[in-house]
Structure 1
Amino acid sequence: MGPNQAPFFPIRIFKISLYYSVFFYLFFLLFNTSFTIMGVDVGDFLKQYLGAFFGVYLTTTAKVFAVSLFIHTSLFTLVHLGFSFWNRSVVKWYFLVGSVLLIECFALFQSMIMFPQIYGEFFFFRYPSFAPFLYFLTDTISPMVPNFVLGILVFLLLILLARHVYLHKNKESFFAILHVLVLGFVHAHGLYLIGLLYFVFVISQGKHYENVHIKTYGLLLIFLLFLYVLPSFWMGISSLLYSEVKGKPPIFILSADSLRYDKIGAKINGQSITPNIDLFTKDSFVFHDHHTTIPRTFPSWADTLTGKYSMEHKIRDMFPSPEEKQRIGSTSFPTLQQILKKIGYDHFAIGSFAADIFPRANFGFDEVYAPNFNARIMTVQRTTETQILILPFLVGSWFSGEKYLEELDGLSTWGDGTRLLKRFDSLVNERGKSPYSITYFSSVIHFPYTPAYPHYKRFTNPQYYGKYKYLKFVDPTDASLPNQEEISQIRSLFDSAVYAFDQEFGEMVGYLKTKGIYDEAIIILTADHGEALYEDIHGQGHGEHLRGESVTHVPLMIKFPKSSKFESVPSIEKNFDGITSSIDLVPTLLDYFEIPSQLEYPGKSLLTILGQKDWREDRFVYSETGIWFSDVGNHFFQKQRIPYPNILSLHQVVPEEDYQIMITDPIYRETIAFSKHRSIQNSNYKLIYIPTREGVRFELYDRMRDPLNKNNLYPNHPMASKMRETLYKTVVKWENASLAGEYLIPSSLSDINEN
């Protein structure tokens, strides 16, 4: 140890940490990197962008390594601190390395038990021979066991620190206290760059801490403790800025990706998988035949929040072009949030990976607490996933830390709603009963169906040991049908994910009740689309076809304030059986707030039928398919569809749009629109329009007698011609489409004049 090195933090410790970080970073980068995403090899795709994207990749690598270096260095300094308090002699490097590795392994075990889905690719694609170890952990060990071990280590460090302070009360002791507090603060807030600068400062100062007056240490200690309580203190102060406004209640749109209507109240072994939602139905109007306009997330939310069809505003898939994106929030397509903003509302969006659509267009939110989606962020995710020793600290499975890399919010395998609920509670606590809205969008039910511990065990078979034990990997090119045991496991995972969202929903409703907000709030429960789970030949997923009830039929429940006139409706009369559409939400809320609009909406205000059982007229609602990601497979819809290239060939990474992934070629966009399957349905029948290379095919199904849509009644059924005419009229009106024989020819974006 040099003469100017701090005894607790010699340069030797930082060197060991640097070597350790570099070794494991490169080791996992070499042996744990995969170019497979949901079963699709994107290696060739990445090569196309290697030249233009190389600088971004280097930046990403540096960022992930910096986080890794801070975490490892923090652990090494804390371990060395503990050894120094216990025994003042120099600790061998291998004791330090072994201790840090042991701590990280316990954290990894705890994380694997909490979130086995995050490590699914490692155990089932890259190193499947290690899968039995994961089975052993999740089957036999509670996460409390590694938690307890890690907690004991932290407790011992604090005891040793307290003992040293009590015995010595010197500057060395106070410096150690400040060090622990600084690392804790940086870790809790994910400020790894500040943490690295702090380490540089510690190294450069050496033993100069002895020159600092003892009172200065006291002031620094008070300042650090103040920083710890500052967020709560600031929240309390800022909450005083917002107050209740009569007639403008808080609005909560609580939703889950892929939540099917038929899962609400469904029972397994006599137990409902949605107990909290079941209770909510007693306080709300329930619309039992509610349908989404398009079973893909981005266009579905665009339709819901603008009250307009995707065929009109042109967000028709997950990868809109810049010109199409800009139409959302324009004068022709204002969102619900923008409209309510004019009467004093603020708006917030909270969500996990599927909520990445909210930052990608102008939906009118004041703050979006959701991940973005672009090639740069995907690179951060793929690079970080390789580093399994630091993943437990990054996903906050132990001792916080989930704020290091905001890009990890977009991990499809991180199905934990805890961090979302924290954000929800924080906003509610700050805003209280003032005019604001929160759109909460959970992704836990979206494939790959990843509920966290203990929910992934809720309804699954404990004796099942296969690749779907913890999640359902998705390969859009694979049309093979799993066996019955696998299908049962996949459905059980889905049900477990539904239960996990129900718990999130219960937490939110419970918090609103605790804060005295629930009674006078508007609360809406819905979903962007449903999910096919191997019913008949329908396969698994959403957006590829319109057969059956599972992909468009979603929940809709609305609870109005107790003081509103609608709450006088008896509970028995709050169930509406007529068909409704996701485009009904905007006109309903505009009607509630008595906001006039110059725009014509295709949806209807639901206020006019509250207390009734059905529409007085025969109502029809429209839906269409999303984009087909793959152009191969033996699926029934692949045999029917007009082909175009797969998604890896269609889209481009656009650096000017923050490396957004977009389909920019107008010919491809028009082909996608032309090829879509479309449907019109009422309470009893569904007609599906299917353009093929051989001509247009129509399918007509009896929804009541044939919910799986097996028996095509077209063209001989009396409803066939009426529904076909209604479909054509709807598309011609709202898309400004034209007819070429039986084919619908979509309007081009270039033909539309934006106001």
Structure 2
Amino acid sequence: MKRNFVLSLFVLFSLTLAAQTEKPNVVFFLVDDLGWNDIGTNGSELYETPNIDALADGAMYFTNAYAAYPRCVPSRFAMVSGQHPARDGRKDGAILPLSTVTIAEALKTHGYGTFFAGKWHLGHDVQEFPQNQGFDVNKGGCAAGAPGSYFFPYQDTKKSKNNVPFFGLEEGKPGEYITDRLTDETIRYIHENDPKKTGKPFFVYLAHYAVHTPLQAKADRLAYYEKKVKKMTFEGESYVFGPDGRAKMWQDNAIYAAMVESMDESLGRIVAELKKLGLYDNTIIIFTSDHGGLSNSGIDNNRELATTNKPLRAGKGHIYEGGIKVPVFVRWPGVADQKSKSSAIIDGMDYYPTILEMCGLPLQPQDHLDGVSFVPALKGKTINESRPFFWHETASRPGQTGDHACSTIRKGNYKLMHFLEDNRIELYDLNIDPFEQHNLAEELPHVVKLMDKELSDWKNEVGASVLKEKNKVEKKDKPRKEKSEH
């Protein structure tokens, strides 16, 4: 009798272990400040991304994928929370409340091991870092939005704002490159937490600091790209100057190119480790960026610019397409593991419910309030084409990236931008004008009226922040000219 009981327990344990290990692992690979055009798949002639391109050959490419915000903190908030960054009056720079149920906490509840490496930027104190937001392990996640240096020690004591501990990376070898170090830590975790040994699937969230400033690269790769740039020819002006500042028109920054290659190499090493351990065919891989590339600087700002998002308009900080459109590739073994494309519109808030559904877990709409699963699109089906998408920023940065407070709605092919300081409206048909060169606001007043009302209603519904009166421009003032080529 006792023997039968023990045997039954063993069988039950074995079945439970098998059920857990059958759940897919997830690798979420997030790049910082990588523009939509900064990869080989999208036609870059300078940047070399063979590993991203290889992933694209066995994944679904989303051609209408957006960041929830054109800057780091709100965009990252949306990814881990499944909520719009404008909800409840949140502003750029707000922390992730401990009360928020993150994607890591949701997966952990269902037996997943959870690992974070890289840029967190969603809390000021250690209590608000990843290890207290659902991640079992945190390597590098802290308050900093960028390292003081990409080479160890990563803190720059000359810049007090960046002189913060990089949690879990306090020790290292002099000259060690942070992109490589984060990759090493990720591979170590995958190796030590092989589900065949632990009985638990894993969720890896690798959020590289690359390719954010400071622009710093490994010497050998920098030398290679300096030579490559010298051999290239470029058309037109290297910069375009407008009423809001400067926009970079060429991909000719050798340092940035070398940083992109190091990031791409990281993806290749992780994929190789998954294959080596026999985990590749049971691991979902999601590749994306937090927003567009750094291509614009404000008036009288001569900062070094990393890239151009051309032919898309503008870049980081702006709600034009260059600031919010991002590359997204999803490899889902057995479902989306062949080269394919989807024109479905998706947003950074949508990863949370999508990952849950891909893992066969129940959705948690009470937590991911605004995110919508795009699993139907991954299965080749049409998703809700009437769903509106919203962006809202009340923080203007005319001296940094040249952007201004703006609320935006995209619905179907139309995109309406309501600039809050001067009450200016711009309307674009992205199906025929993807580079936002022809403002249709005066030609289609009925569309403007309907979309602007829907935008206003949404802001009231989510409790979006309101622009302070002192920042508004009097109507009698001469309106700014529209940018012609960003």
TM-score, normalized by the shorter chain, greater than 0.5? yes
Q: What is the CA–CA distance in structure 1 between the aligned matches of 2:65 and 2:466, rounded to whole Å?
A: 29
Instruction: Tell me if structure 2 keeps the 8 A contact 1:576–1:614.
Output: no
1:489 aligned onto 2:239: no
Q: What is the CA–CA distance in structure 2 between the aligned matches of 1:449 and 1:416, rounded to whole Å?
A: 13
Q: 1:678 aligns with which of 403, 407, 419?
A: 407
Matched residue type, 1:699: E
How many percent of aligned residue pairs carry the same amino acid? 22
Q: What is the CA–CA distance in structure 1 between the aligned matches of 2:282 and 2:432, rounded to whole Å?
A: 41
Matched residue type, 1:542: K
List gaps (5 residues or longer) in structure 1. Answer: 1-241, 387-394, 396-401, 465-477, 642-675, 745-755
**For residues 290-305 of structure 1, what are the structure 2 equivalents within 5 Å?**
290-305=65-80
In the TM superposition, what is the alpha-carbon distance from 1:558 to its structure 2 partner?
1.9
Q: Secondary structure at the match of 1:501?
A: helix
Q: 1:424 aligns with which of 170, 186, 191?
A: 186
**For residues 731-742 of structure 1, what are the structure 2 equivalents within 5 Å?**
731-735=459-463
Matched residue type, 2:136: D
Matched residue type, 2:424: R
In the TM superposition, what is the alpha-carbon distance from 1:620 to its structure 2 partner?
2.4
Q: Secondary structure at the match of 1:261?
A: coil
Instruction: Tell me if structure 2 keeps the 8 A contact 1:575–1:611.
Output: no
Distance 1:679 1:459, change over 3 A: farther
Q: 2:104 aligns with which of 318, 337, 342?
A: 337
In the TM superposition, what is the alpha-carbon distance from 1:422 to its structure 2 partner?
1.2
Aligned to 1:111: none
Q: Secondary structure at the match of 2:291?
A: coil
Q: 1:623 aligns with which of 391, 406, 424?
A: 391
Aligned to 2:281: 519
Q: What is the CA–CA distance in structure 2 between the aligned matches of 1:260 and 1:349, rounded to whole Å?
A: 23
Q: Secondary structure at the match of 1:522?
A: strand
Scaled by the length of structure 2, the TM-score of the pair is 0.71
Q: Secondary structure at the match of 2:282?
A: coil
Aligned to 1:559: 331
Distance 1:441 1:585, change over 3 A: same
Q: What is the CA–CA distance in structure 2 between the aligned matches of 1:267 and 1:589, rounded to whole Å?
A: 29
Matched residue type, 1:317: D
Aligned to 2:350: 584
Matched residue type, 2:139: Y
Aligned to 1:275: 50
Aligned to 1:368: 138
1:328 aligned onto 2:56: no
In the TM superposition, what is the alpha-carbon distance from 1:447 to its structure 2 partner?
2.5
Q: What is the CA–CA distance in structure 1 between the aligned matches of 2:385 and 2:244, rounded to whole Å?
A: 41
Aligned to 1:45: none
Aligned to 2:319: 546
List gaps (5 residues or longer) in structure 2. Answer: 1-15, 161-165, 231-242, 297-307, 473-486
In the TM superposition, what is the alpha-carbon distance from 1:616 to its structure 2 partner?
5.0
TM-align CA RMSD: 4.0
Q: What is the CA–CA distance in structure 2 between the aligned matches of 1:455 and 1:623, rounded to whole Å?
A: 37
Q: Secondary structure at the match of 1:583?
A: helix
Aligned to 2:38: 263
Q: What is the CA–CA distance in structure 2 between the aligned matches of 1:532 and 1:383, rounded to whole Å?
A: 25
Instruction: Tell me if structure 2 keeps the 8 A contact 1:355–1:441.
Output: yes
Distance 1:736 1:480, change over 3 A: closer
Q: What is the CA–CA distance in structure 1 between the aligned matches of 2:44 and 2:464, rounded to whole Å?
A: 47
Matched residue type, 2:214: P
In the TM superposition, what is the alpha-carbon distance from 1:537 to its structure 2 partner?
12
Q: What is the CA–CA distance in structure 2 between the aligned matches of 1:510 and 1:481, rounded to whole Å?
A: 41
Q: What is the CA–CA distance in structure 1 between the aligned matches of 2:188 and 2:208, rounded to whole Å?
A: 17
Aligned to 2:374: 606
Instruction: Tell me if structure 1 keeps the 8 A contact 2:154–2:178.
Output: no
1:698 aligned onto 2:425: yes
In the TM superposition, what is the alpha-carbon distance from 1:254 to its structure 2 partner?
0.9
In the TM superposition, what is the alpha-carbon distance from 1:598 to its structure 2 partner?
5.3
Q: What is the CA–CA distance in structure 1 between the aligned matches of 2:72 and 2:177, rounded to whole Å?
A: 17
In the TM superposition, what is the alpha-carbon distance from 1:266 to its structure 2 partner?
3.7
1:307 aligned onto 2:82: yes
Instruction: Tell me if structure 2 keeps the 8 A contact 1:732–1:738.
Output: no
Instruction: Tell me if structure 2 keeps the 8 A contact 1:444–1:450.
Output: no
Q: What is the CA–CA distance in structure 1 between the aligned matches of 2:154 and 2:394, rounded to whole Å?
A: 27
Aligned to 1:722: 450
Matched residue type, 1:364: G
Q: Secondary structure at the match of 1:259?
A: coil
Matched residue type, 1:420: L
In the TM superposition, what is the alpha-carbon distance from 1:419 to its structure 2 partner?
1.0
In the TM superposition, what is the alpha-carbon distance from 1:296 to its structure 2 partner?
1.8
Query: Rg larger in 1 or in 2?
Result: 1
Distance 1:342 1:373, change over 3 A: closer
Matched residue type, 2:458: T
Matched residue type, 2:97: I
Aligned to 1:232: none
Point out the structure with the larger helix share. 1
Q: Secondary structure at the match of 1:368?
A: strand
In the TM superposition, what is the alpha-carbon distance from 1:723 to its structure 2 partner?
2.3
In the TM superposition, what is the alpha-carbon distance from 1:540 to its structure 2 partner?
7.6
Instruction: Tell me if structure 1 keeps the 8 A contact 2:76–2:290.
Output: yes
Instruction: Tell me if structure 1 keeps the 8 A contact 2:394–2:465.
Output: no
Distance 1:293 1:597, change over 3 A: same
Aligned to 1:667: none
Scaled by the length of structure 1, the TM-score of the pair is 0.48
Instruction: Tell me if structure 2 keeps the 8 A contact 1:307–1:585.
Output: yes
In the TM superposition, what is the alpha-carbon distance from 1:720 to its structure 2 partner?
2.2
1:504 aligned onto 2:259: no
